[in-house]
Structure 1
Amino acid sequence: MIDHTGIQVSNIALSKVFYEAVLHCLGYKICLDFGHAVGFGTPISCDTENADGRDPGGDFWISVGTLHTPRTHIAFRAATHDEVNAFYQAALQHGATCNGAPGYRAQYHPNYYAAFVLDPDGYNIEAVCHKAPELTEKKRVP
């Protein structure tokens, strides 16, 4: 099982604002900010008192690095279609480029509802909900 993942970005300040906005739509927040690296996670994964063997710095990290041609695709799980839509709108408002508007991707499976954007460094970032349409009205439990 993956504990955490990270990508290098060319502008940490720009990427921090971008990821803070788009990941907020999926229930993530900043767990740790070292200036040169920022960790994001859910409130549970950020809880240093009750990390339960998880990295208390979060699940997803960005750090200052050398820009290269990105080949990375990262998909974040969304609880509802509304979260996918909010993620997409927040991404576009914070400088992302559309790489696939929200919608079903039946080539993966019938309930695969996703949106794809290219972040400020060109990474292919996705929000996806795998639930059947009738189940997506349920709200996230805090």
Structure 2
Amino acid sequence: MQPVIDHIEITVKDLNEAITFYDYFLPLVGFNLKNKAQAFIASHDKQVVEYTHPNFAIALTSPRESLKNEQVHRRRPGALHHLAFKAEKRADVDFIYHQLLAFNANIVAPPQLYPEYHQNYYAVFFKDPDGIKLEVVCQKGV
């Protein structure tokens, strides 16, 4: 078996706000919005929006009613710390950064080298509307 992720599902506070953000961001990293589907799963009392790609899928889901006012914090046990997308070139990281700026995304750190990870680690960090930390990274040399 190969260690390949099939899909990731992220619970968000405001599904419509998250859809606006991910509809903008995910095409920048290779997703096609034609491959987006929505469903209500009554047995789990949740609305789901799934973005599929041949490599993996990302789904956004509405919160359980009793938990809808909980605060997102990436350092809580069981929480997603961050999600990183691989870029082939540093120029791709820079391009996505500029697109995120144009969208008024919450930039945590602009593109730069992070030698504390390794000498070629070049990344931009930002957050989605729920404060979930995202990253686009190129780990190749110039």
Q: Output the TM-score relative to the length of structure 2.
A: 0.73
Amino acid at match of 1:25: L
Cα distance in 2, alignment partners of residues 94 and 64 from structure 1: 23
Question: Map of 1:47-126 to 2, 5 A cutoff?
Answer: 58-65=56-63, 66=68, 67-71=70-74, 72=80, 73-126=82-135
Amino acid at match of 1:104: L
Distance 1:83 1:37, change over 3 A: farther
> Could you tell me how far 1:95 is from its partner in structure 2?
4.2
> Could you tell me how far 1:120 is from its partner in structure 2?
0.7
Q: Output the TM-score relative to the length of structure 1.
A: 0.73
Cα distance in 1, alignment partners of residues 113 and 27 from structure 2: 22
Name the counterpart of 1:23.
Answer: 26
Given that residues 88 and 102 in structure 1 are in contact (C-alpha distance below 8 angstroms), is that contact kept between their aligned partners in structure 2? Answer: yes
Amino acid at match of 1:33: A
Unaligned runs of 5+ in 1: 46-57, 134-142
Name the counterpart of 2:49.
Answer: 38
Larger radius of gyration: 2
Unaligned runs of 5+ in 2: 40-46, 75-79
Q: Percent identity?
A: 29
Distance 1:82 1:91, change over 3 A: same
